[in-house]
A and B are shown apart, each in its own frame.
Chain A
Amino acid sequence: MTKLTELTITAALLGLKTKQFSAAELVADHSAAIIASRSLNAFITETLDSAAERAKISDQKYAAGTAGVLEGIPLGYKDLFCTKGVLTTAASHILDGFKPPYDSTVTARLDAAGSVMMGKLNLDEFAMGSSNETSFYNAVTNPWRRRSDPNTPLVPGGSSGGSASAVTAEMVMGATGTDTGGSIRQPAAFCGLVGFKPSYGRCSRWGVVAFASSLDQAGPMTRSVADAALMFEVMAGFDPLDSTSANLPVPDTRAAVASTDLKGVKIGVPKEYRIDGTNPEIIAMWEEGVRWAKAAGAKILEVTLPHTKYALPTYYVIAPAEASANLARYDGVRYGLRVPAASLDEQYEATRAAGFGAEVKRRILIGTYVLSAGYYDAYYRKAQQVRNLITRDFTEAFTKVDLLLTPTAPSSAFAIGDKTMDAVTMYLNDVFTVPASLAGLPAISIPAKLDSAGLPLGLQLIGRAFDDAMVIRGAAVLEKSAGFTHRPHSIAG
C-alpha cells in the first residue's frame, strides 16, 4: 500500500474527501516522517502539537461539509514568513526569539484554506544564498546522494533549501518558498521538485521578511505541477497591505493543469543561455526538453535576449542595495538580538556585528557602497538602467513566443562545504534564474531527468508577466513528457 506521505496534495485531498483516511492520520504520518528525518535539518521550528490539534478541526470540517480547498494538507513554511506567536528567524541570529504578532498574508491564506502548518523551514540567512549553507541554524542536507558517492552529503540548493529538502523527504506535502533571484527554482531543480515563482505582484509580500523588495516573490514548492497550481491559487491574490500587490483576478489554472498538448503554443529557446563551458549534461537535458515540447505540438523558435550576460552583475548591485536598506531595521531595539553597549550607536554596531552572518554582512556592505555618495550613479543607477534593457529583451522576445524554455541551474546539487565555492562562484548558480526575476516574470522549474551521478536536473519555463496560467500549462505538459518518478534512495527505501 502507498504510504500517506508519498501522496501528492491532489491525491491526498481525494483520499480525505472519500474518507479513505483522516486528516489526523495524514498529519500523524507526516509528523513521524519529520521526526525520522531530523538529520536533514530541514526545520528550524517544528509545530507538531498544534498540527495534530489543527488536523482534528480539519476532520470535523470534512464531516460537516465545510472543508477548505487545502483542508488537512500538511505544509511547511519557509522561516521567512511571519507566523503569529511562532518563532520566525529568517535563519538569522539577529532575529533571536522573534515571535511575530501577526501572520503573513500568504500563510494566512493557506491557513484559511485548511492546510496544516507542520513547522518553519530552514533557509539561507535572510534568503541570501544558493546552498542553504549561510543559515545560522546550520546547513540543510539534500535527501538525494550521488550514486557513486553515497556518503557525501549534498546541498539542497537555496535559499529555500529547508522547503526543498522537507518536500523531497516527504515530511510535508508542499512548502512555501520565496524567490528573489532563483531561491524557489534552483532548490526545486536540485531536489527533483516543482518550484513555481509567480509573476511579481501575484503573492503579497506582507509579513514576508524582506530581502530585496523589487524582486522578492513567494511561491509553492511541491511534488507535482497540479499541486503547485493548487497552492498558487490559494497563495495569490490582491492584498491592500502590499503596495506592489497586483489588483488582478487570480487565474483559474484547472484547464492549464489538464492540458495534454502545446498545440498553438510558441516556445522560444534563448540562444544566450547556451553559455560556453556549460555542463554537456545540462545542454543535453535542455535539448531533450525542446524535443518534448515539439512532440507535444509546440512551435520552437530561437530567440535572442542580448543582455542576458549582464543579468547577474545587475542583480548583484540591485539586490544588495535593496537589502542594505531593508536590513537597516535590525537595530537591536524593537525585536531580536541586542548586544548592550554604552551608546546607542555602539549598540547598533555591536548588535549587527554579532547578529548578521558573513554573507549577509558582505551584501549589506556592497549595498551600502553602491548607494553611497559618489558611487550611486556608477553602480546603482547603471544597474537600474541595465535592468530596463534586460526587461525590454524579454518584452521583445514575448512578441514572438508565449514561453521560454531553459535549464534551471548550471549544475546538479554539489557537496556541502565545497571549498571551490567563493562568493562570486556561488552567485553563478543563479545565471539562468536571475533574468526572469529582474523582469518580474513568472517562471517554474520542473524535474526533467537524472544526470549521470543520479541527481535531478530541472527545466525552466518563463512566461509573460501575469500569464502564470501559460507557465503552468507548459509545465503540466512537459511534466507528462518527462515522466519523472525518481525518488531518493533514502526515501524510496
Chain B
Amino acid sequence: MSLNQDDVKKVARLARIKLPAEAIPAMITELNGIIKFVEQLQEVDTKGVEPMVRVVTMPLPMRDDRVDYPNLQREVLSNAQEADIAGNRGRYFVVPKVVE
C-alpha cells in the first residue's frame, strides 16, 4: 500500500495539521518511505495471535471517587494564551466563536 496526495491531505486534516500545497509532494515521499518499511510486518503469520494491548499484566487499579486536590482552576488557566483568569465572567479558556 502507499499513500497518494488525497491520503496525505486526509490524514493531515484528521490530525489538524495544516500542510501547505508545496509541502505535500515531499511528505508523500517521506511517509511512503516509512510505510514501505513497516510493510514487512505483513510477512509475519499472526493467525490466532492476540494483539498486545498492555505491557504489564495487571488489572487497572480503582480508586475511591473523592477529590484529592484543592481547586486549581487559576493554575490550570495560567498557561493559556487567552483565558479569563480574573474570573470577571466566570474563569474559562477563550477560543474563537464555535456556535453560530
Interface residues of A (CB under 8 A from B): 97-101, 200-201, 214-215, 240, 243-244, 246-247, 307, 309-310, 312-314, 316-317, 324, 328, 331-338, 340-350, 352-353, 356, 361-362, 364-366, 368-370, 372, 375, 378-379, 381-389, 391, 422-424, 427, 439-440, 465
Given that A365-B17, A366-B35 are contacting pairs, would A465 and B52 also be in contact in the complex, using a CB cutoff of 8 Å? no
Neighbouring B residues of A382 by C-beta, 8 Å: 41-42, 44, 46
With A336-B79, A389-B46, A439-B55 known as contacts, the answer to whether A361 contacts B17 (CB < 8 A) is yes
State the majority secondary structure of interface residues on A.
helix
Q: Is B37 touching A244 in the complex (CB atoms < 8 A)?
A: no
Give 11 A-B contacts (CB < 8 Å), ordered by A residue.
A99-B79, A244-B55, A247-B61, A313-B37, A314-B38, A353-B19, A365-B12, A365-B17, A365-B27, A422-B33, A424-B37
Q: Does B96 sit within 8 A of A, measured CB to CB?
A: yes
Known: A240-B61, A344-B95, A389-B49. A383 touches B55 (CB 8 A): no
Q: Which residues of A contact B19 (CB under 8 A)?
A: 353
Chain A nearest CB from B45 CB (Å) reads: 9
With beta carbons under 8 angstroms apart, the residue of A201, A332, A365 that contacts B31 is A365
Q: Shortest Cβ distance from A428 into chain B, in angstroms? A: 10
Contact B16 A349 (CB under 8 A): yes
* Contact status of A383 and B18, CB under 8 A, knowing A333-B95, A388-B49: no
Smallest Cβ distance from B10 to chain A, in angstroms?
8
Report the number of A-B residue pairs with Cβ-Cβ less than 8 Å: 165
Cα separation A391 to B46 with both chains bound (whole Å)? 14
Known: A244-B55, A352-B16; 20 extra A-B contacts, CB below 8 A, are: A98-B79, A101-B78, A101-B79, A200-B55, A309-B40, A310-B41, A313-B40, A317-B38, A347-B96, A365-B17, A366-B31, A372-B10, A372-B11, A375-B1, A382-B46, A384-B53, A385-B52, A386-B44, A388-B52, A422-B33
Using an 8 Å CB-CB cutoff, how does the interface string of B71-95 with A read, 1 for contact, 0 for none? 0100110111110000000000101
Is B21 an interface residue, CB under 8 A from the partner? no
> Given A345, A362, A384, which contacts B34 in the complex, CB threshold below 8 Å?
A362
Chain B interface residues toward A at CB < 8 A: 1, 3, 7-8, 10-12, 14-19, 27, 30-31, 33-35, 37-42, 44, 46, 49-56, 58, 60-61, 63, 72, 75-76, 78-82, 93, 95-96, 98
Smallest beta-carbon distance B59→chain A, Å = 10
Q: A334-B80, A368-B11 are in contact. Are A314 and B34 (CB under 8 A)?
A: no
* Residue in B55, B58, B82 whose Cβ sees the most chain A Cβ within 10 Å: B55
**How distant is the Cα of A379 from the Cα of B3 in the complex, in angstroms?**
14
A348 contacts across to B, CB distance below 8 A: 16
